[in-house]
A = this chain, B = another copy of it.
Amino acid sequence: MQRDSRISMICVGDELLDGSIRDLNMRTLGSVLVDHGLKLDSSKVIRDGVDLISEALEKAVGIVVVSGGLGPTQDDVTRDGAAAWAGVQLAEDRESLETLRRRFEERNYPFTDNNRRQAFFPVGADILPNPRGSAPGFKLKVAGTTAYFFPGVPSEFQAFCETHLAPELAQGTGVRTRLYFHGLGESQLETRLDGIEALAKELGSRVGYRADYPEIEVKLAADSDEALESAVAFVESKIGLYAIGRDDEDISTRVGRLLMEQGATVTTAESCTAGGIAAKITDISGSSSWFEQGFVTYSNAAKHALIGVSNQTLERYGAVSAQVVTQMAAGARERAGATHALAVSGIAGPGGGTAEKPVGTVHFGLASPEGVYHQLIHFRVRTRERIRAGTVYSALAMLLWRLDGQSEHPNVRGPFAVEDVNTPEGITIETDA
A positions within 8 Å CB-CB of B:
14-24, 26-34, 39-47, 52, 71-75, 103-104, 107-110, 112, 114-115, 132-134, 153-155, 185-188, 190-191, 197, 208-212, 217, 219, 268, 270, 273-279, 281-288, 291-299, 301-302, 305-306, 336, 348-352, 380, 382-385, 388, 428, 430, 432-433
Contact = CB atoms under 8 A, between A and B. Distances in A.
Contacts of A430: 107, 109
Nearest to A22: B27
Given A275-B270, A433-B104, A382 B197 contact: no
Given A41-B47, A114-B191, A210-B19, A293 B283 contact: no
B191 A285 contact: no
B208 A19 contact: yes
Contacts of A187: 72-73, 112, 114-115
Contacts of A34: 18-19
Given A19-B210, A103-B433, A293-B301, 19 more contacts: A15-B208, A19-B30, A20-B211, A21-B27, A22-B22, A22-B212, A26-B45, A107-B428, A114-B191, A133-B382, A133-B432, A268-B275, A275-B278, A275-B282, A285-B352, A292-B298, A292-B299, A293-B299, A295-B295
B40 A17 contact: yes
Contact of A26 (B16, B115, B209, B278): B16
A279 B274 contact: yes
Indicate how many identical chains form the complex: 2
Contacts of A103: 433
A109 B188 CA distance: 9
5 contacts: A17-B30, A18-B30, A72-B186, A270-B275, A293-B302
A293 B296 contact: yes
A433 B109 contact: yes
A50 to B, nearest CB: 15
B275 A20 contact: no
Contacts of A297: 293
Nearest to A359: B285
Contacts of A134: 432-433
A248 to B, nearest CB: 14
Contacts of A287: 274, 298
A274 B336 CA distance: 15
The 5 closest A-B pairs by CB, nearest first: A275-B275, A19-B31, A19-B30, A294-B296, A293-B302
Contacts of A276: 275-276, 279
A31 B72 CA distance: 25
